[in-house]
Amino acid sequence: MERSFAREIESLKLGAGEVFHGEGILAVTKALLQSGVSYVGGYQGAPISHLIDVMVQARDYLGELGVHVEPCTNESSAAAMLGASIMYPVRGAVTWKSIVGTNVAADALSNLASPGVEGGALIVIGEDYGEGASVIQERTHAFAMKSALWLMDPRPNLETIVRCVEKSFELSEASNTPVMLELRIRACHVQGSFVAKDNAAPAISAKRLLEAPAPHDYDKLSHPPVTYVHERKKYEVRMPAARRFIAENGLNELIEGRHGEIGLIVQGGVFNSLVRALQQLGLADAFGRSALPMLVLNVVYPLVPEEITRFAAGRRAVLVVEEGQPEFIEHEIGSILRRADINVRVCGKDVLPMAGELTSEVLVGGVAKFVQAHVPQLGNLGDAGYAEEVAELRRAAAEALGGPVPARPPGFCTGCPERPFFTALKLTEREIGKMHYSADIGCHSFATFAPFNFGNSILGYGMSLASSAGVTSFQERRPIAVMGDGGFWHNGLLSGVSSRLMNGGDGVLVILKNGYTSATGTQEVVSSPAEVAKAEAGASSATGSETRIESTLKGLGVTWLRTVHTYRVAEMKRTLLEAFKSPFKGLKVIVAEGECQLERQRRIRPLRAKALARGQRVVRTRFGVDEETCTGDHSCIRLSGCPTLTVETATDPLKTDPVAHVTNGCVGCGLCGEVAHAATLCPSFWQADIVANPGRAEAALARVRGWFTGARLR
C-alpha cells in the first residue's frame, strides 16, 4: 500500500461517547462499521482510495466483527457484490471513483436497481468533478435518475456525512432501493470530528453463518417478464417510500434567514463554498448562519415535492445552486413548482456557470447578481470589491514571480521505470517514423506531456488496445497500444487482448508491469511482487506472480511475446523495432518490466537505515555530468525527462549554453547513462558509488585516491 493506516485503524475502534478526529473518507469508514455492515468491496481511485486501503489493512479487526472485505478487480465486480443484499437482509457497501467507475459498473448497477434490495445497499461514489478532477467532467446524477437509484450529497461536515451514511442504509431498506452517496474531493479530505458510536457486529456475517440459502424467488431476478413489474414498483412503490423516509427523518436541512422574500436551494456538497461566498457578501458568518433562507439538499434524488413547494411558497425568487450540467435539479424544481401552481421565479444557470466547479469565487458573482436583482434594497454587496481584491492579489503574485506562474503538468516520478520505455519508443520513432499511439489510464498517461508527447486517444482504463482496433484497417504502419498491469487486469485482458485474438487483428501491445495499480495509490494486483514473497513462503499460490501476465497471455493464445526490463533501453528499442518490422501478422505483446520506484524506495530505505544503524556496509549509487565533456545540446534531457536531470550555468566562460546537471534528488536508476549509450550521445555521465561504513582496506584505498586527487587539483 501507499502508506500505513495504523493510526486510522485504531480510530475505527472508538466506542460510544468517544470523539473521532480525522478526514471525511475515514469518517465514512467508521460510519459503515457503526451501521452493522456485513461486507465491503470496491475499486480504488481518488478521492475514495483510502476507504478500501484502510479496510484492507484493518482486516484482522474487521474479522473480529465478522465483516468481509474484498478489493475488487474493477468497479463492475464491486457492484455485483451488492447482489448479496437482493435476497438477504445483510448490509453491504462498495466504493469507486466516479463517473468513470460508475460507467464500468453500469451493467451490474442496472440489474441491481431493477429487483431492488432487501438488505441496505450503499455505493460510496468519489465524485471526481471540478478543479481537482483527474477524469472527464460528468456527474453521477444522470445515472441515479436513469436507474432510479437514490443519491445522497451530504454537506462537507463530518457529523452530517456520518449521519447520511447511517441513514442511507435505513433509506435503502425502507424503499428496497440501493443508495449512492457522492463525496467530492473536498468532502473526502475535510477535517473534523464527531461523537462516535459502538461498532455493530452484523447479524449475518462471516462469524454468524446462515444455515440455508434463500428460497428461489423469481420476482427478485432482473429477467423478463418480471422486469416490467420492477419498472412500475420503482416509481409507484419505492420512490414514494423513499420520499416519506427523507421527509420524516429530516435528511434535508432548512436554514432560516431574515430576507424571506428570496431563498437558496443548494446541493449539500456545495454548502461550504456557498457559505464562504455569502461571508464575502456580508450575508453569512463562518458558522453557516445565513441572512438568506436555505434549503440544503443532502438528498438530491429523489426530491421531495412537499419540501420544495413549502420552501418556495410566498417567495419572490429562489436560486438553485447546482454544480455542473445539465441542470437536473433546477429543471425538476421548476416542474414541481409549475405542477403545484406556485408562481415563483426559479434562477440558477442564468446567473451561475453551466460548467465547472462552483468555488466560492465563482459563487460570489452569481449570488450577488441574484440578490441585487430580487432584493435591490440591499444595495451594493461588495462583490465588485471582492473581484478587484482577487485581481490585485493575482497581479501582485505575477509581479513577485516576474511573470505568470509557469504551467506545471504532472510527470513521472524520479526513477520511474516507465520513463525508460518511452525513451526507447522515442528512439524507435526517430528510426521508423510516427506511429498511431493508443494511450490508457494510469501513470503512463504522463507520456502525453513533454518531452515525449505520445498519444492519439485515451478511452478508458484498459481500453487502449481495443481503441486501436479500427485504426489497424487503414494505417500502413502498425499502431501501438500501451497499458499498465493494473489496466490489463481491470479490463484490457478481455476487451483488448481476447478481442484482438478472436478477430485476428495485427498490432503491438506493450504492458508496463510495475507491479501495482500505481496511479490509484499502489494497490496490489494479482501480479504484484508481494505475491512472489507469499509463494516463496509456502503459501497456496502455485504460479509465481513474476510470470502470471505472461502465462495468461500464452494461455489465451498469444504467440509473439517478449519480456524486457524497461531500464535496458537499447534492448527495448531493438524489441520495439522487431515488433514493428516483424512479418508476423497478429498481436505482438511486449511485457515491459520495472517495479514502481516509489514502492521500491519505500522497501529499500528502511532496510538501508537499519543496515547503517548496525554499522554494515551500504552502497548508494549516484550519477552526475562531467561539465567539461557536456556539449550542451540537451538531447539527454529531451529523451529522458527525468526531473533530477536539469541544466545549470557552465563555469567555463567560453560555454554560452547551460550544461546538463543531475540534482541531489537522483535515486541512481541509471537511465541517463542508458540513454547516452542507446542514443549514442556524448559520454558525459559518470557513476559514483557512495559507500557508508566501508571496510579498512576500502577506506585506506579511498584515502590514497583522495590524496592523489587533491594533489592534482592543487
Beta bridge partners of 124: 95, 181
Give the residue from 318, 330, 397, 319 showing the smallest Cα distance to 365: 319
d(CA 381, CA 199): 48
* Residues 253-294: tens digit of each pLDDT: 999 999 999 999 999 999 999 999 999 898 998 888 899 999
> Where does the pLDDT of residue 530 fall: very low under 50, low under 70, confident under 90, or very high at 90 and above?
low
Cβ-contact 296, 322 below 8 angstroms = no
CA 139 to chain centre: 15
Using CA atoms, how far apart are residues 351 and 269, in angstroms rounded to an integer?
A: 19
- Residue 395 pLDDT class (50, 70, 90 cuts): confident
Lowest-confidence segment of 398-407, 475-484, 536-545 by average pLDDT: 536-545
Rounded to an integer, what distance in angstroms lies between the CA atom of residue 140 and that of residue 98?
Answer: 7
* CB neighbour list of residue 707: distance below 8 Å, 6 or more residues apart: none
- Alpha carbon 540 to its chain centroid, in Å, reads 32
- Strand pairing report for 659-662 and 645-648: antiparallel
The pLDDT value recorded for residue 650 is: 87
Helix (H, G, I), strand (E, B) or coil at 19: strand
Residue 588 Cα distances to 230, 419, 510, 530, 667, angstroms: 47, 21, 8, 28, 33
pLDDT over 70 at 533, yes or no? no
Instruction: Taking residues 523-546, report their average pLDDT.
Output: 53
496 DSSP 8-state letter: I
DSSP 44: -
pLDDT at 537 over 80: no
> Across all residues in the chain, what is the average pLDDT?
90
What share of the chain has pLDDT > 70, as a percent? 95
Q: Cell 464500468 identifies what position?
A: 104
**Is residue 235 packed enough to be buried (19+ CB in 10 Å), middle (13-18) or exposed (0-12)?**
exposed
| Alpha-carbon gap, residue 274 to 695, rounded angstroms | 66
Cα separation, 143 vs 150, whole angstroms:
10
Q: Which domains does the chain have, with CATH numbers?
A: 6-201+214-248 (3.40.50.970), 253-401 (3.40.50.920), 418-599 (3.40.50.970), 617-713 (3.30.70)
Neighbours of 609 (CB within 10 A): 11
3-state secondary structure of 206: coil
pLDDT of residue 536: 32
- Does 238 score more than 90 pLDDT? yes
Q: What are phi and psi of 226, to 5 degrees?
A: -70, -20
Residue 396: pLDDT band with limits 50, 70, 90:
confident
Q: Predicted confidence band at 546 (pLDDT cuts at 50, 70, 90)?
A: low
CA 157/CA 681 separation, integer angstroms: 57
Residue 542: pLDDT band by 50, 70, 90 thresholds?
Answer: very low
Q: Which of 368-372, 451-455, 701-705 has the lowest mean pLDDT?
A: 701-705
The total of other beta-carbon atoms located within 10 Å of residue 226's CB is 16
Q: Is 21 helix (H, G, I), strand (E, B) or coil?
A: strand
Question: What is the rounded distance in angstroms from the CA atom of residue 393 to the CA atom of residue 659?
Answer: 36
Tell me if 95 sits within 8 A of 52, measured CB to CB. yes
Residue 518 has pLDDT above 90, yes or no: no
E strand intervals along 369-453:
437-439
Longest dimension (CA), the chain: 97
Sequence letter at residue 636: C
- As given in the structure block, the three cell numbers for residue 589 are 505483446
Cell of 80: 455485483
Query: Cα separation of 458 and 505, whole Å?
Result: 20
Quickly count: other Cβ atoms within 10 Å of residue 692's Cβ.
13
Least confident of 475-479, 576-580, 585-589, 707-711: 707-711
- What is the secondary structure of 115-182 as a DSSP string? T--SS-EEEEEEE--STT--S-S--SHHHHHHHT-EEE---S-HHHHHHHHHHHHHHHHHHT--EEEE
Q: Which residue in the block uniquely carries the three cell numbers 520495472?
A: 594
Candidates 139, 143, 141, 120; CA nearest to 130 is 139
pLDDT digits 0-9 by tens, 353-362: 999 899 998 9
- Of 81-90, 132-141, 429-438, the range with the lowest mean pLDDT is 132-141
Considering only residues 113 and 395, tell me which one the structure prediction assigns the higher pLDDT.
113
Name the packing angle between helices 418-432 and 569-581 (round to 10°): 50
pLDDT at 711: 54
In the numeric block, which cell numbers belong to residue 632? 550542451
Q: How far apart are CA 197 and CA 476, in angstroms?
A: 65
Q: Average pLDDT of 162-178?
A: 98
List all residues 6 or more positions away from 498 whose beta carbon is below 8 Å from its beta carbon. Answer: 556
Nearest-angstrom CA–CA distance, 606 and 557:
42
Residues 6+ apart with CB under 8 A from 430: none
Here the cell at position 279 is 461571508
CA angle 324, 328, 330 (to 5 degrees): 95
Asked whether the predicted pLDDT for residue 538 surpasses 70, the reply is no
Q: What pLDDT is stored for residue 510 in this prediction?
A: 97
CB atoms within 10 A of CB 112: 25
pLDDT band, residue 3 (cuts 50/70/90):
low
Q: What is the pLDDT of residue 563?
A: 95
C-alpha cell at 327: 441542470
DSSP 490: I
DSSP reduced 3-state for 457 = strand
Q: Does residue 541 carry a pLDDT above 70?
A: no
Residue of higher predicted confidence among 347 and 690: 347
Q: The dihedral of CA 493, 499, 501, 502: what is its sign?
A: positive
CA 427 to chain centre: 32
* DSSP β-ladder status, 317-321 and 457-458: unpaired
- Whole-angstrom Cα Rg for the chain: 30
Question: For position 263, what pLDDT does the model report?
Answer: 96
C-alpha distances in angstroms, 508 versus 400, 496, 497?
49, 11, 11
Instruction: Note the pLDDT tens digit of each residue in 548-570.
Output: 899 999 999 999 999 999 999 99
Q: Which pLDDT band, with edges at 50, 70 and 90, does 29 fall under?
A: very high
Could you report the per-residue pLDDT of 567-605, keeping only the tens digit for each?
999 999 999 999 999 999 999 999 999 988 888 888 888
What pLDDT is attached to residue 218? 92
